[in-house]
Chains A and B, each alone.
Chain A
Amino acid sequence: MNRLLAPILGLLLLAGLGYAIYNSMNSQLALKAQTTVTGLIGSEKEAFFADPRVQHALLKQGLIVKTEKAGSRQIATAFDLSKYDFAFPAGQPAADKILQAVGKRPSFVPFYTPMVIASWKPVAKILEANDVVREKNGVYYWFDLDRYFEWTQREVRWKDLKDSAAYPVNKSVLMRSTDVRKSNSAAMYLALMSYVANGQRVVASEQEMQTVLPKLLPLFLRQGYTEYSSEGPFENYLSMGMGSSPLVMIYESQYIFEALKTPSGIRADMALLYPEPGLFTRHVLIGLSEHGARLGQALENDPELRQLAIEHGFRTTDAAAFKAQAESRKLAVPADLVQIIDPPSYEILEGMIQAIEQQMK
């Protein structure tokens, strides 16, 4: 019995030992090749980094990415950036603010997205009757920011609009945004409205800033309580409906990503409005460490990651891929946007935000 058992056990054991050694070598080799990078991101990119397909594609580039959410404008001020490999805020101004804090670092713009207004068909109909919205090609709506701005100065209420029976509400016609002190999407809203308030010109001087500020303050103060990150107002839009959020300033990517989900929170009575003029939010990755910079390169150059960004609703330099997806998935989004303006300089935008902040205390 023992004579028979011993060699078998011996073989089994050798095999086991061999496997254990092989296994450990293998995972150690793999660990050597892979780098974990930790970074701060705006909440609008959380789903992208949580996607297993994205994680797999990153792993192929030898990268394991750990993220923490933060308001894009908070990243520069509220965190110890030496603990992170990268910062990935939304918006050039927020990125500039970080670059000012950390000095010269490599930066990348793997994708961008236009600012849009999430709304509802009954609301869009009312706005159309009042000449603020136009339907074009039966799919999307253009939103006249100039006329809307004029309404905000007169504090026009929904119930006072023509043909407003579907939304007879005593609230001001007022777009909801995030907290302008904390988050980029509200800063982009401010950038857009400052252009309109300044007579269709980008605010470029202290003097212009002082002239437009009193007109812009109510756009934020009258919103009352605002959320910290772009995900908050969009979540309210999706789960609380038209009564809570008739008009919400969001990133186009948020809406497209939700529309592509199964099951999706986008319903037939929702409508996406494109402001005129429009503005792009650039998603700027700042490499705080060498490994962080590697992530920026991978996102900018790897074809698989670029395609996944499009599937998450972002636009890349590959306009054809974005258009192809919109057509194949029947998304009511325009492939080309005209009348795109630039945000004001970092200093001007920051100056306006600080002035609003003073009033919000």
Chain B
Amino acid sequence: MQNTAKPKFNLFNLIAFVVIALIAWSWFGGKSGTSQPDAQHDSRALHVLAGSELKDIEPLLPQLEKDTGVRLKLVYTGTLDGAEQLAQGAAYPLAWFSHAKYLELLEGARARVAAREKIALSPVIIGVNQSKARALGWDKTPPSWSDLAMQAAKGEFKFAMTNPTSSNTGFSALIALIAALSSDPENFTLTAAQQQTVQDFFKGQRLTAGSSGWLAEAFVREQERLDGIINYESVVLQLNRSGQLREPLTLIYPREGVVTADYPLLLLDATKRTEYDKVVAWLKSPAIQKRLMTETDRRPILPSIPLEARFGTQTLIELPFPGQRSVVDRILTSYLDEQRLPAHAYFVIDLSGSMAGERIDALKTALLNLMGADSSLTGQFARFRAREEVSFLPFRQYVEPQVNFAIASGDATEGSLSNARAFAQGLTPSGGTAIFSALAEAYTQIAHEQSKHPDRYYSVVLMTDGANTSGMSLDDYSHFFRQLPAEAQAIKTFPILFGDSDSAAMEQVAAMSGGKVFDGNKNLAAAFKTIRGYQ
């Protein structure tokens, strides 16, 4: 008994020792690992307010998490919109845009940036259909911005470009254009003749959008009627690789220069410094810089990585960028009120009985915002602007007479806008829903207007909260639409989903015109405001 009991006792003792030793080991020997749980083990993602143009970086993020333990979740928005959100205090630990220059000019936003690191480069350039580039000799000698304006005025150069007040590519191109044409580029001032050249340039803008990504998609659909697209070099290179183009795009770097996006990653919450430093170190490592070049077509920020051949070898002149917010605002306002093709926006709005109550209030708020009630930065730019024609087609079981407003100036207190506000205040819902008859009426008007004023940018917004109950059916409308002149069929419908609207029918209406459906259920005013970027 004793012989067997003793070792058993010892073994038990040993097990106790093992346990104590293991505890001691893990306690003393575990270094500081236990004191920083979130760095390695915590899987909570860091939210990044990001420009939608960074979507193509998402496939790299699982590798980032694997290598650094930091998981990023990108929440997309437009460049100016994002800048404004940050200025108003939106709580994101990080932000990542194609550039942060405008953001840093906004007092409230600038103060929030604790650190900034540029990650990659992509100039905003012009992709021109190869045959067009050859015909104009641009493949041999790059054109100047004024050459582009001259061909645009002659109707020889029709291009797609985003709205400078909602998207960075349009914004950068506008800054580049003004700096290139100005005889004093550092001050962004224009003589009357140079102002005329800017207007000439925008005569060629035949497709616009609120986002660079959607613009590229729409360009693919409408490449037959367009000669080129203004976008990031990376997007033009990706389009060329996509296999979706009838002919490749020639990369045009205008002679006076370009404005380049530098994709700074911004730290907003200083307590996330450790994670931020890891992410930056990873993104700027040679291996990842190379992947950013080969997989996303951006130029590496790391100078030791040689550029691949498709980026070309020309010296890229970087044009000045304003250092004062007032200068940027002056450039954007001048674009809207003086330089762009004047817009003619049709609003086909549902006044059926089901709109009564909260819905009509939401619609009124949304419309009043566009008529001067929204004094925020983006609100001012989204407002109806000088030279714009705005037509309302309210409908019930019948279409009401069209109400027009000609906006005389960019001033929010101006008479035509106060008339418009009175009109919006007086909207009263009742009756049925004749969606397609109203839409058909809008396009009939547009076809008529187009023949009188071809140099306007037309668009249709359709807001309805239910299914069609009277007048034309969707089939009738499709048939009607196909009979329209080609120029009228190119005018886009932007339906807004609201309440119980028929989303399948709305998708069809958008698709036949090359438009896009927006969801107004969460925030109707925000949907109207976003669509302004497409008008």
Give residues in A with beta carbon < 8 Å to B: 2-3, 5-6, 9-10, 13, 16-17, 20-21, 23-24, 27-28, 68-69, 155, 169-172, 174, 221-226, 228, 232, 235-236, 238-245, 261, 263-265, 360-361
Given the complex of chains A and B, what is the CA–CA distance between A6 and B9 in angstroms?
10
Complex interface: stretch among B159-167, B192-200, B223-231, B298-306: B298-306
Pair A224/B322 contact, Cβ less than 8 Å: yes
Pair A2/B315 contact, Cβ less than 8 Å: no
Pair B273/A265 contact, Cβ less than 8 Å: no
Q: Give every chain B residue within 8 A of A243 (Cβ-Cβ).
A: 257, 315-318
Q: Give every chain A residue within 8 A of B321 (Cβ-Cβ).
A: 224-225
Given the complex of chains A and B, what is the CA–CA distance between A101 and B301 in angstroms?
37
Ordered by A's residue number, 17 sampled pairs between the chains whose C-beta atoms are within 8 Å are A9-B11, A10-B10, A13-B14, A13-B18, A16-B21, A20-B29, A24-B27, A24-B28, A169-B257, A170-B183, A224-B186, A225-B322, A225-B323, A226-B323, A236-B318, A239-B299, A245-B318
Partner of A265, one of B8, B304, B324: B304
B480 within 8 A of A: no
* Sample of 18 more A-B contacts, CB < 8 Å, known A23-B29, A243-B318: A3-B7, A10-B10, A13-B14, A17-B21, A20-B24, A20-B29, A27-B28, A172-B185, A222-B187, A223-B320, A225-B101, A228-B116, A235-B301, A239-B121, A240-B121, A240-B318, A244-B317, A261-B304
Given the complex of chains A and B, what is the CA–CA distance between A155 and B118 in angstroms?
31
Pair B7/A2 contact, Cβ less than 8 Å: yes
Partner of A170, one of B11, B25, B185, B324: B185
Given the complex of chains A and B, what is the CA–CA distance between A243 and B184 in angstroms?
18
Q: Give every chain A residue within 8 A of B320 (Cβ-Cβ).
A: 171, 223-225
A47 to chain B, nearest CB (A): 12
B31 within 8 A of A: yes
Partner of A2, one of B8, B24, B185, B257: B8
Given the complex of chains A and B, what is the CA–CA distance between A23 and B273 in angstroms?
31
Pair B302/A239 contact, Cβ less than 8 Å: yes
Please judge, given known A-B contacts A235-B118, A241-B316, whether A27 and B323 are in contact too, CB under 8 Å: no
B308 to chain A, nearest CB (A): 15
Q: Which residue on chain A has the smallest CB distance to residue B183? A: A170
B212 within 8 A of A: no
Partner of B323, one of A170, A223, A261: A223
Q: Give every chain B residue within 8 A of A238 (Cβ-Cβ).
A: 303
Pair A6/B10 contact, Cβ less than 8 Å: yes
Q: Which residue on chain A has the smallest CB distance to residue B27? A: A24
Q: Give every chain A residue within 8 A of B423 (Cβ-Cβ).
A: none
Pair A242/B323 contact, Cβ less than 8 Å: no
B208 within 8 A of A: no
Given the complex of chains A and B, what is the CA–CA distance between A171 and B104 in angstroms?
23
B21 to chain A, nearest CB (A): 5
Residues 289-303 of chain B: 1 if any A CB is under 8 Å from the residue's CB, otherwise 0?
A: 000000000011111
Given the complex of chains A and B, what is the CA–CA distance between A221 and B316 in angstroms?
23
Per DSSP, are chain B's interface residues mostly helix, strand or loop, or mixed? mixed
Pair B115/A69 contact, Cβ less than 8 Å: yes
Q: Give every chain A residue within 8 A of B315 (Cβ-Cβ).
A: 241-243
Q: Give every chain A residue within 8 A of B301 (Cβ-Cβ).
A: 235, 239
B83 to chain A, nearest CB (A): 14
Q: Which residue on chain B has the smallest CB distance to residue A237? A: B303
Please judge, given known A-B contacts A13-B14, A17-B21, whether A171 and B185 are in contact too, CB under 8 Å: yes
Partner of A223, one of B7, B118, B186: B186
Given the complex of chains A and B, what is the CA–CA distance between A151 and B104 in angstroms?
30
A104 to chain B, nearest CB (A): 28
Q: Which residue on chain B has the smallest CB distance to residue A172? A: B186
Q: Give every chain B residue within 8 A of A222 (Cβ-Cβ).
A: 186-187
B456 to chain A, nearest CB (A): 33
Q: Which residue on chain A has the smallest CB distance to residue B299? A: A239
Given the complex of chains A and B, what is the CA–CA distance between A247 and B24 in angstroms?
61
B260 within 8 A of A: yes
Pair A240/B260 contact, Cβ less than 8 Å: yes
Given the complex of chains A and B, what is the CA–CA distance between A238 and B303 in angstroms?
6
Q: Give every chain B residue within 8 A of A239 (Cβ-Cβ).
A: 121, 299-303
Partner of B318, one of A170, A244, A263: A244
A61 to chain B, nearest CB (A): 21
A29 to chain B, nearest CB (A): 12
B256 within 8 A of A: yes
Given the complex of chains A and B, what is the CA–CA distance between A18 and B119 in angstroms?
49
Partner of A240, one of B20, B21, B273, B316: B316
Shortest Cβ-Cβ A-B pairs, 8 listed? A24-B28, A265-B303, A244-B318, A238-B303, A263-B304, A222-B186, A243-B317, A2-B7
Q: Which residue on chain A has the smallest CB distance to residue B20? A: A17
Given the complex of chains A and B, what is the CA–CA distance between A264 and B303 in angstroms?
8
Pair B302/A224 contact, Cβ less than 8 Å: no
